Chain A
Amino acid sequence: MNAMNRSSAPAPALDISGLKKSFGKAEIIRGIDLSIEKGERHAVIGPNGAGKSTLFNLITARFPPTSGTVSLHGQDLAGLAPFQINRMGLSRSFQITNIFPAMTVFENVRCSLLWSKGYKYSFWHMVARSRDLTEAADAILEQINLTNRRDLPAGVLSYAEQRALEIGITIAGGADVIMLDEPTAGMSHSETDYIVDLIRKVTVNKTLVMVEHDMGVVFGLADRISVLVYGEIIATGKPEEVRGNPKVQEAYLGAALEAEH
């Protein structure tokens, strides 16, 4: 699969090859090759402890890999700082809600717009007077249905609202590769449906990489699914193919049962 993608002309949005990560003696990620096309919605699923979050953190350079490479639009990400990767067009959310709780909802979104709108380290603009910022931030709030919470401190929002805000912050900068780490973790069914709809809406024409515990959540959303078990991808393919794969059924169910014990 990898070789096929390399031969075609445009570089894949995200290309992972031979990726390994050990913490001390424990090898958490044991050699992953994965290529994600532009505009694809890709979900990485797996039972608890499969290494999903570690993989996610390796891709976004939160941790350095033990070996292997990750490249974004054909550019190697090794040694880059998070802010550099973000400027190359990759934006991520966090499994544990990671917003600016003391700021208002509006300010949270506005902060995430500043760099991409070209304000950078400016100390000669007044943010409140920059119409483009205000309008863009209000548009994002509209998209994530938080307009009525605009001027509240983000910390007082409900859990589901905070998750929606987290997604809003992640997409606001206009990155073309969006990575979401278990966006529906800890949510009720109706909240999950709501967030999945939201994700579908805000990632139109973007590349989405999403880590998820529950296969059901991503089934209608993802174009392709990869199944991660014990640090290895055991299957990648269209949702139906993956679900029908006996290896996946066995491993996923087995590991899930094991994790419960």
Chain B
Amino acid sequence: MTEQATTPTNLRAGRISTLSAAPWVIATLFLLAMPFIFQSNSAITIMNQMAITIIFALSYNMLLGQGGMLSFGHAVYMGVGGFFCVHIMNMVEDMSLPLPLPLLPIFGGLFGLGLATIVGSFSTRKAGTVFAMISLGVGELIAACSIIIVAFFGGEEGVSGDRTYGLPFFGVEFLQQIEVYYLIVFWLIVSALLMYLFSRTPVGRMANAVRDNPERAEFLGYSARWVRFYSFCASGFFAGIAGGLFAINYEILTEENLNLTQSGAILLITFLGGIGFFFGPIIGAIVFTLLQTVLSLQTELWQLYVGALFVATVMYFPGGLAGVLMMHVPAFRLGRAGHLVVPYIITLIPAIIGIFGLCALIEMIFHLRHAPLGESEMTLFWTTFDSHAVVPWLMALVITVVAFAIMRRNMPTLRAAWHRANSLEEESA
């Protein structure tokens, strides 16, 4: 690299790679430091789950975001990879084979890859509806198998293993969650980096080309089908790695890990985060895991809110959370992002209050209808009140209506500010 760095082309390439290395270094340091900030066991459990979900979501985005393939059955590759890993764990224990635990996810990946090779050989012929329907069918098929083939999938109880089977790996026995955390983080960084690099290779670039315009890609010498097939296999491999890590982390896999609910969840996570940017699924996985773990402790209705968030994302921010973030880049570049702060505050704070008000109403209805008879007291936002009395209802209603009204009134200010912050760009471009 250094001896080539004389031509302008290479200077450019060199600068880009140092620039693009920075987020990776920061992310790595951040991941290594996380357990020192959040030391409780439950926090580490959440972080483990988050990291596994990130790998899974990134692998899903190789299909949806990079390759334009909408899959409704991606959980099977993670699930099958995970099931194989549990079986390998048990086999290694029974026969005392010298397989160190940290290498186990590779086997998950290989089994995910194997299954993806088989399924991809016929499902990637077409993109669009045909691909989506086949993925749904295969997902359903394998989920059904998981109940029928008890010997492998363990029926309803699933199969479980013991990750502390073998000899310690350089003195680490993986008894504690924190040890598993660093194992998962290692695989997270490796997988994410490989998936990122994949998108920069010829076949990765052509995956984008085939997504945008398969016909043109064919007339450039590429078979759209083969391009899709390679992406599909790579995606299956990384999903399998996520499955292997899941097996290590939870030491059990059940039908729930590969059914359609799980496949739907990963689609939701990826889309929520944003399919247009590489880091989108990472945000999606973090936000979703937090909602799933933290919000579910607060309310039984958490899935309702996640669903509403998903619908709102699809309708108003098709670029997902990453898209919303990146929307602000032009304003930042122009140094005009500061002009947005006040309009954002006066619009978003009422909006958030309004949403909380609406949530309060929903929770009160739920409590009114479903609380045990005679129990009329409920606690919401650190306030305890009687859900059968009129005053709380009136208060919630008034707060909601007033907050949304203020938001509506301030909306034009935000719109105008947004226009001002970005319209300069058009003039200078």
Q: Do A and B come from one complex?
A: yes
A173 partner, pick from B10, B197, B220, beta carbons under 8 A: B220
**Docked complex Cα distance between A82 and B217 (Å):** 9
Contact A173 B216 (CB under 8 A): no
Return A102 CB to nearest CB of chain B, in Å. 6
Contacts of B4 in A (CB 8 A): 131
| B residues near A103, Cβ cutoff 8 Å | 208-209, 212
A121, B203: Cβ atoms closer than 8 Å = yes
The interface bits of chain A over 104-131 (1 if a CB of B lies within 8 angstroms of the residue's CB, else 0) are: 0001001110111001111111111101
A98 touches B200 (CB 8 A): no
- Contact, CB under 8 Å: A122 / B201: yes
Collect the chain A residues with CB atoms within 8 Å of residue B384's CB.
Answer: none
Contact check, A92 vs B230: say whether CB atoms are below 8 A apart: no
Assembled-state Cα–Cα distance A87/B226 (Å): 15
In this complex, the member of A83, A115, A134 whose beta carbon has the largest number of chain B beta carbons within 10 angstroms is A83
- Does B218 belong to the interface (CB within 8 Å)? yes
Contact B209 A83 (CB under 8 A): no
CB contact between B216 and one of A100, A116, A125 (< 8 Å): that residue: A100
Interface string of B1-40 (1 = CB under 8 A from A): 0001001011001001100000000000000000000000
Contacts of A120 in B (CB 8 A): 202
Given A122-B203, A131-B10, are A115 and B220 neighbors across the interface (CB < 8 Å)? yes
Convert A127-153 into 0s and 1s, putting 1 for each residue whose CB lies closer than 8 angstroms to a CB of B. 111010011001000000000000000
Within 8 A of A (CB), among B218-275: 218-224, 226-227, 230, 234
Q: Which residue of chain B has its CB nearest to the CB of A156?
A: B429
Q: Does B42 contact A (CB under 8 A)?
A: no
Name B205's contact: one of A81, A86, A99, A127 (CB within 8 Å): A127
Residues of A within 8 A of B157 (CB): none
Q: Given A87, A98, A101, A115, which contacts B215 in the complex, CB threshold below 8 Å?
A: A98
Q: Residues of B contacting A86 with CB < 8 Å?
A: 218-221
Using a CB-CB cutoff of 8 Å, which residues 62-95 of chain A contact chain B? 81-83, 86-87, 91-92, 94
Closest to A101 in B: B212
Q: B215 touching A82 by the CB < 8 A rule? A: yes
Chain B residues contacting A121 (CB-CB under 8 Å) are 202-203, 206, 226-227, 230
- When the two chains form their complex, are residues B209 and A111 in contact, meaning their CB atoms are under 8 A apart? yes
Interface members, chain B 64-82 (any A CB < 8 Å): none
CB atoms of A114 and B202 under 8 A apart = yes
In the complex, which range does the number of interface residues on chain B fall in?
20 to 34
| Contact between chains at B220 and A99 (CB < 8 Å) | no
Contacts of A55 in B (CB 8 A): none
Question: B120 near A: Cβ within 8 Å?
Answer: no
Interface residue? B198 (CB, 8 A): yes
Chain B contacts of A102 at CB under 8 A? 208, 212
> Is B213 interfacial (CB-CB < 8 Å)?
yes
Cross-chain contact A115 with B16 (CB below 8 angstroms): no
Question: Cβ of B204 < 8 Å from any Cβ of A?
Answer: yes
A14 in the interface (beta carbon within 8 A): no
A127 pairs with B201, CB closer than 8 A: yes
A94 to B216, CA, bound (A): 9
A182-B316 Cα distance, complex, nearest whole Å? 39
Q: Are A125 and B201 in touch, CB under 8 angstroms?
A: yes
Considering only CB atoms, which chain B residue lies closest to A107 in the complex? B205
Q: Does A169 interact with chain B (Cβ within 8 Å)?
A: yes
B221's partner among A87, A125, A131 (CB-CB below 8 A) is: A87
A125→B200 CA distance, assembly (Å): 8
Task: Assess whether A126 is in contact with B205, with CB atoms less than 8 Å apart.
Answer: no
Q: Are B200 and A82 in contact (CB under 8 A)?
A: no
Q: How far is the CA of A127 from the CA of B205 in the complex (A)?
A: 8
Interface presence of A60 (CB below 8 A): yes
A83 touches B223 (CB 8 A): yes
Q: Which residue of A lies closest to B229 (CB)?
A: A121
Q: Which residue of A lies closest to B194 (CB)?
A: A123
| Nearest Cβ on chain B to A111's Cβ, whole angstroms | 5
Chain B hits for A128, CB < 8 A: 13, 16-17, 200
Contacts known (A121-B230, A134-B9); A98 close to B201, Cβ less than 8 A: no
Q: Bound complex: CA of A46 vs CA of B131, how far in Å? A: 40
| B80 CB → nearest A CB, Å | 22
B213 touches A83 (CB 8 A): no
Is there contact, CB below 8 Å, between A83 and B212? no
Q: Evaluate contact between A111 and B234: CB separation under 8 angstroms.
A: no
What separation, in Å, do the CA atoms of A169 and B216 have in the docked complex? Answer: 10
Closest to A122 in B: B202
Residues of A contacting B219 with CB < 8 Å?
60, 82-83, 86, 91-92
Give the Cβ gap from B43 to chain A, nearest Cβ, in Å: 37
A83→B218 contact, CB < 8 A: yes
B16 touches A99 (CB 8 A): no
In the assembled complex, which residues on chain A have CB atoms less than 8 Å from the CB atom of B218? 81-83, 86
Assembled-state Cα–Cα distance A32/B223 (Å): 29
Instruction: Name the one of B200, B224, B227 contacting A126, with C-beta atoms under 8 angstroms.
Output: B200
- Which of the residues A60, A112, A123 comes within 8 Å of B198, measured between beta carbons? A123
* CB-based contact B213/A81 at 8 Å: no
* Chain B residue at smallest Cβ distance from A134: B9
- Contact partners of B234 in chain A: CB under 8 A: 123
Decide yes or no: A111 and B205 within 8 Å by CB, A83-B219, A101-B212 being known contacts.
yes
Q: What 5 additional pairs, Cβ within 8 angstroms, besides A102-B208, A102-B212, A115-B220?
A: A86-B219, A86-B220, A121-B227, A134-B13, A169-B216
A-B contacts, 21 of them at CB < 8 A, read: A81-B223, A83-B218, A83-B219, A83-B221, A83-B222, A86-B221, A98-B216, A100-B208, A100-B212, A102-B212, A111-B205, A114-B202, A114-B205, A114-B206, A115-B221, A116-B221, A121-B202, A121-B227, A123-B204, A138-B9, A173-B221
Q: List the 7 shortest-distance A-B pairs measured between CB atoms, nearest first.
A: A115-B221, A119-B202, A82-B218, A86-B221, A123-B201, A122-B202, A121-B203
Binding site for B on A (CB under 8 A): 60, 81-83, 86-87, 91-92, 94, 98-103, 107, 110-112, 114-116, 119-129, 131, 134-135, 138, 169, 173
